[in-house]
Amino acid sequence: MTDRVIPIADARRTKPLPSEGELGSSARAGEDTLGRRLHDLRISVTDRCNFRCIYCMPRDVFGPDYAFLPKSELLSFEEIARLARVFKGHGVEKIRLTGGEPLLRRNLERLIEMLADIPGLDLTLTTNGSVLSKKARALKAAGLNRVTVSLDSLDEAVFRRMNDADFPVSEVLTGIDAAAAAGLAPIKINMVVKRGANEDSVIPMARYFKGSGHIVRFIEYMDVGATNGWRMDDVLPSAEIVRMIGEKMPLETVEPNYTGEVAERWRYRDGSGEIGVISSVTQAFCRTCTRARLSTEGMLYTCLFAMAGYDLRGLLRGGSSDQETSDAIARIWQARTDRYSEIRTAETAKLRKIEMSYIGG
């Protein structure tokens, strides 16, 4: 174990719910302190994973003795669906299931069916693709709209080094094909780019998926959590990635689909598709951030880089009505001040932030 290892339980701090009085007279219904409205909810359904990606769950921290959450601590499907309905009432139109590896949660299809029953929700899921070939059809049948699949390289040795679980590229590619065949499209492929680790995989990845109808999104390596040993020098800026790809395969910008879209869109000039870049480090997009995150055990976080969350499970299990839970969510959102990526420094990167595998990416 290295000295950067922090017992994760320590980092799961709870914040008291904001009271009416704390909000001040300028608080506007539905908006946070920077005028942002809630639009997306990411729900983590497990903190466990069968990969040990070096930038997310480093093996020296998430080893055999690591204490994952016991089952009794997890939100049940009924609790998740109940909260999802309450969040829908606050303007949430899109729900992404994530983790850990969401497809490791047993009977996930049942949860998807329950969420698909809520009218007007766009339902998506992010997965490492390891069991997607087996599950794609059932996920679609349950009501999932689309998937995002993470894949950090097409090079066998590089990918195995990145996932640190000796998992082969071919099975993820089979999963992507199965998802496309099941109609979970358009598929997005997430590639985290870490300088010195997989930057040589950027061009082959762009080339492989060009013309496939799938959209590769290159993600800057972020200082989420407190265990991945992040350093600014390891970040390959998105501008550099766009330049590298554009030199080989000319690109032009595309307008965002909607305000607050995380990825900046680029399309190939020859009309053979598009890519995205997610520049959380070099071009912060906090001003339009409309996302909230619900952890596996029912803590609500209003920023990916949060140090503490609000205990919604405590409210549910303490007997709160839906109206009371809804009022609490309204106050939490109105009190929100988050803009971590705008204020990131080498010092903030060392803070005890909550882990990505727990909060949900």
Site of interaction with ligand SAM (CB under 6 A): 49, 55-56, 98-99, 101, 126-128, 150, 190, 192, 219, 221-222, 224, 228, 356-357, 361
CB of 56 to ligand SF4, least distance (A): 3
**In the complex, minimum distance from the CB of residue 286 to ligand SF4, in angstroms, rounded to a whole number:** 3
115 binds, among ligand SAM, ligand SF4, none (CB under 5 to 8 A by kind): none
* Contacting residue, 289, 300, 330, 332, with ligand SF4 by CB under 6 A: 289
Binding-residue total with ligand SF4 (CB under 6 A): 24
341 binds ligand SF4, rule: CB under 6 A: yes
Contact between 32 and 333 (Cβ < 8 Å): yes
124 part of the interface to ligand SF4, by CB under 6 A:
no
Provide the residue type at 170 as one letter: S
Cα–Cα dist 29/271, whole Å = 43
Angle between helices 132-142 and 108-116 (to 10 degrees): 30
Q: Which is nearer to ligand SF4, 50 or 320 (CB)?
A: 50
Partner interacting with residue 339 (select from ligand SF4, ligand SAM, none; CB below 5-8 Å by kind): ligand SF4
State in angstroms the smallest separation of the CB of 197 from ligand SAM.
Answer: 12
Q: Minimum distance between the CB of residue 47 and ligand SF4, rounded to whole angstroms?
A: 9
Q: What is the DSSP string of 250-292?
A: -EEE---SSTT-SSEEEEETTSS-EEEEE-TTTS--GGG--EE
User: 172 or 316: whose CB is closer to ligand SF4?
Assistant: 172
Report the sign of the C-alpha dihedral through residues 14, 34, 237, 159, in that order.
Answer: positive
The entry of ligand SAM, ligand SF4, none near residue 57 (CB within 5 to 8 angstroms by kind) is ligand SF4
**Helices (H), ranges, the chain:** 8-11, 77-88, 108-116, 132-142, 156-163, 169-182, 202-209, 238-248, 312-317, 322-334, 340-343, 356-359
Name the token pair of 158: 């590089």
From the list ligand SAM, ligand SF4, none, pick the one residue 221 interacts with, judged by a Cβ distance below 5 to 8 Å according to partner type: ligand SAM
Helices (H) and strands (E) in the chain, counts: 12, 13
Cα(69)–Cα(67) distance, integer angstroms = 7
Bridge partners of residue 293, in order along the sequence: 42, 301
- Nearer Cβ to ligand SAM (227/334): 227
Binding segment for ligand SF4 (CB under 6 A), chosen from 52-60, 86-94, 132-140, 205-213, is 52-60
Closer residue to ligand SAM, CB minimum distance, 233 or 255: 233
Q: What CA–CA distance (Å, rounded) separates 181 from 111?
A: 22
Dihedral Cα 69, 72, 75, 77, nearest 10 deg: 120
Name the minimum Å distance from CB 328 to ligand SF4: 20
Q: Which residues bind ligand SF4 (CB under 6 A)?
A: 49, 51-53, 56-57, 99-101, 128, 150, 280, 285-286, 289, 291, 303-305, 338-341, 357
